[in-house]
Structure 1
Amino acid sequence: MTALDAARLAAVISPLRRTLLTAARAAEHLPEIPDAQIEIIRALPRDTVTTPGELAGRLGLSRPTVSNLLTQMEAAGLVERRPRPENRRQVEVLATARALDLFDRFDLASGAIVAAAAATLTPEDVDALAAALPALERLRDALTPPPS
């Protein structure tokens, strides 16, 4: 069994993510949206409504942090906050059509960029990446904090 060079893997993942984000933004002429806001949009797929507290728990962030992010995102037209119909003292949050459009464009551009880059690799490298996907997904899940 091969030993995992965890430091090397971590040193590849972060720059890879930033490079992909930059390339996708440029390809689609997308606005600069901070990573934390992107994670909130990712947690609010189409037709999903939740509370700020539930978002904080799901993302492993403090409630004040989520509240500040939502204030910025609401000003940018990325989320909508509204009173809950069954309890008007509670607030619910949903991604706007604009946010979902930007996110869809980002995902499409990211997929196309990765596919184009993968086409320059050897078949063995492509096979290795394909074989690594399930393990990388499990690693992501293992690194994701449990809901509080």
Structure 2
Amino acid sequence: MNRLLLVNGPNLGILGRRQPEIYGTDTLADIEKAVAEEIAGRGWTLTSVQDDSEGVLVRTINDNPDTVGAIVNPGALMMAGWSLRDSLAAYPQPWIEVHISNIHARESFRHDSVLAPLAQGVIAGLGTQGYRLAARALLALAQD
């Protein structure tokens, strides 16, 4: 069975109660359920990891090269997560960077991602719906 990797970085484990005016009220469990539903029709399953430590996320990516693709919300690691960037550079499958908020409409330090140049695509500002859209994109890429 094919597995899709869902990786969420620092502070994303407290979604639903973290600044709901910016991030909404969906929890990480809600997001995981939505992505799992999106990919179920293809027979894919979801492997989801959230951690506040960059090293755990690096290990997760390095240990899962056999997944069909990945959805990555690096959180603040997008700005200085160089070891995360290196692991994603070595990840052999397509992956999409997702941000719940519109990072370009926020503080200037959030405008540039060190990861984005390596991603198949970037989705930002569409709320938690961005995760579903990333899953749909990866499903479409797998058909090509």
Instruction: Give the structure-1-normalised TM-score.
Output: 0.30
Greater strand share, structure number = 2
Instruction: Give the structure-2-normalised TM-score.
Output: 0.30
Pick the structure with greater CA Rg: 1
Greater helix share, structure number = 1
